Amino acid sequence: MNNRFTDRREAGQQLAADLGEYADRDDVVVLGLPRGGVPVANEVARALNAPLDVVVVRKLGVPGHEELAMGAIASNDVRLLHDDLVERAGITEQEIQRVEAGERAELERREAAYRSGREPVSVEGKTVLLVDDGIATGASMRAAVRSVRSQNPARIVVAVPAASPRTCDAFRQLVDDVVCTITPEPFRAVGLWYQHFPQTTDAQVEDLLSPRAPAE
């Protein structure tokens, strides 16, 4: 398969090269989507000399079929639902709230663990680069966009190493700019475009976000 990245680190380096116009600017903030987006965002932030933080997002699984997402939640009390799926599956608001309560608790746990007491990086009036390791359905990134928009940034840029052409085009209707390093068709899944795509751990995210994390 052609055009695959070796790993998330290389993907981040290539993505950073596509984001050169944002380098060495004091109005730019890089936010990674945990967990897999943070190693990519870390490379982008290092290359651009920009602050790095996270926007935590959790998918909402259909009750009894948790692998199927009926929506997503994010920081700042954001909740997005796939209304058509919710209606077709007959999912009640009570069921949604029960799922959301569990995922909201996990979201808050991760935010506390990842920042270790540090305040979130302010994005008000900033150009925010929202970075993930790729976009499949787009639910998580849409929730992240809404969360960031609630904090009054100047601009929002969605930046990923890989996504389908259709997905990239769809996000151009939602944000100020979209940067996708590769846009293969058919896309199928994010992991197909990496030679090595292991699960990123909480510990790795915490290490990358730590101000004491050394450059490799």
The CATH number linked to 168 is 3.40.50.2020
Final residue before a domain boundary, out of 115, 130, 156 = 115
Structural tokens at position 175: 């944000």
Tens digit of pLDDT for each residue in 98-142?
Answer: 999 999 999 999 999 998 889 999 999 999 999 999 998 898 999
Category of 175 on φ-ψ map: left (φ > 0), alpha (ψ -120 to 50) or beta: beta
Phi, psi of 190 (to 5 degrees): -60, -45
CATH number at residue 108: 3.30.1310
The structure's pTM equals 0.92
- Same domain flag for 145 and 198: yes
Q: Does 215 have pLDDT greater than 60?
A: no
Contact predicate 35/199, CB 8 Å? yes
Classify residue 135: in a domain, yes or no: yes
Q: Does 213 have pLDDT greater than 90?
A: no
49: nearest Cα among 70, 78, 29, 75: 29
Encoded amino acid at 113, one letter: A
Final residue before a domain boundary, out of 115, 135, 162 = 115
Tens digit of pLDDT for each residue in 30-78?
Answer: 999 999 999 999 999 999 999 999 999 999 999 998 888 899 999 889 9
Q: Work out how many domains the chain is built from and give that number.
A: 2
Q: Tell me the residue range of the domain where 62 lies.
A: 58-115
- Same domain flag for 76 and 166: no
Structural tokens at position 36: 């897999």
The DSSP element (H or E) to which 199 belongs, if any, is none
Q: Count of H helices and E strands in the chain?
A: 7, 8
Burial (CB < 10 A; 0-12, 13-18, 19+), residue 143, is: buried
Classify residue 1: in a domain, yes or no: no
